[in-house]
Amino acid sequence: MKKGKKIPIIFENEDVLVIDKPAGISVHQDGRKEEYTIAEWVLENYPEIKEVGEPLILEDGRKILRPGIVHRLDKDTSGVMVVAKNERAFNLLKGQFQDRKINKSYRAIAHGKFKDDNGIIDKPIGRSGSDFRAKNTGRYARGEMREALTYYKVLKRFDDYTLLELRPKTGRTHQIRVHLKSISRPIVCDGIYGKSLRCPEWMGRLALHAYSLEFTLPGGEKRTFISPMPKDFEAALDKIRGL
């Protein structure tokens, strides 16, 4: 690393960079506040890919650089992300995301108990009518309703919480968070979709982790990359077991 925050690298070749994004860092600027982001880290360490990808154009005309950024994770979500290092890789990965050929797996700690070991949440997502930051489902949603499908599997049940594996088949903003809220099982410490529930001190941040990402590399090789459960997540689970 040259300067700035250290971001763990899971895999790197001439086409892609697979990183282990920490919680608490945004992927790119949103135009509302200045903060250090994954995009800044990429520019510091890989200045040659500055023009790869597509910038974000704000309503006032400002351009936010997103060098090689093909997809994003929420600021407080940790886990595996891929960055394209050239335009060929960017277009290939973008196509795989659009065609739903990339397999994503997440881990989350949710409030409450799940009756079934496996389930599907199939609910279109629109804008929230009451919070500009949020999305919603059903009669509380506004604007265009976009198809959204999430598969879940119960990994471990606790008295008041559940550890889940989640596999979103679509890529809507906040999809997992919105879907779990829609079945009254919001993610622990979700300040938007679970704000009426106490955020336990043993977690302290959104209990959502991007665990694995499977995609085809330029050249045709299909690979799966894993971000192990972070220390704060493991510590939270140890704490729950002792409650």
Q: What are phi and psi of 224, to 5 degrees?
A: -115, 130
Same domain, 19 and 112: no
Does the structure show a pLDDT above 70 at 201? yes
Helix (H, G, I), strand (E, B) or coil at 155: strand
Does the structure show a pLDDT above 90 at 88? yes
How confident is the model over 176-202, as a mean pLDDT? Answer: 95
H or E stretch including 178? Answer: helix 175-182
pLDDT tens for residues 21-69?
999 999 987 766 778 899 999 999 999 999 999 888 877 777 888 999 9
Same domain, 6 and 46: yes
Distance CA(136)–CA(160), nearest Å, equals 24
Domain C-terminal end among 99, 115, 136: 99
Same domain, 153 and 233: yes
Domain C-terminal end among 99, 117, 145: 99
Same domain, 141 and 92: no
Same domain, 199 and 239: yes
Domains in the chain, number: 2
Same domain, 31 and 131: no
Query: How would residue 2 be classed by pLDDT, with cut points 50, 70 and 90?
Result: very low
Expressed as residue numbers, the domain containing 209 is: 102-243
Same domain, 112 and 223: yes
Distance CA(46)–CA(235), nearest Å, equals 33
pTM of the model: 0.92
Active-site annotation holder among 20, 30, 74, 232: 74
Let me know how long the chain is: 243
Same domain, 25 and 116: no
Q: What are phi and psi of 211, to 5 degrees?
A: -85, -45
Same domain, 17 and 5: yes
Distance CA(152)–CA(170), nearest Å, equals 13
Does the structure show a pLDDT above 50 at 1? no
Same domain, 169 and 141: yes
pLDDT tens for residues 158-175?
999 999 999 999 999 999
Q: Identify the CATH number of the domain in which residue 9 sits.
A: 3.30.2350.10
Distance CA(104)–CA(83), nearest Å, equals 15
Same domain, 144 and 27: no
Check if 74 is active-site: yes
Same domain, 226 and 149: yes
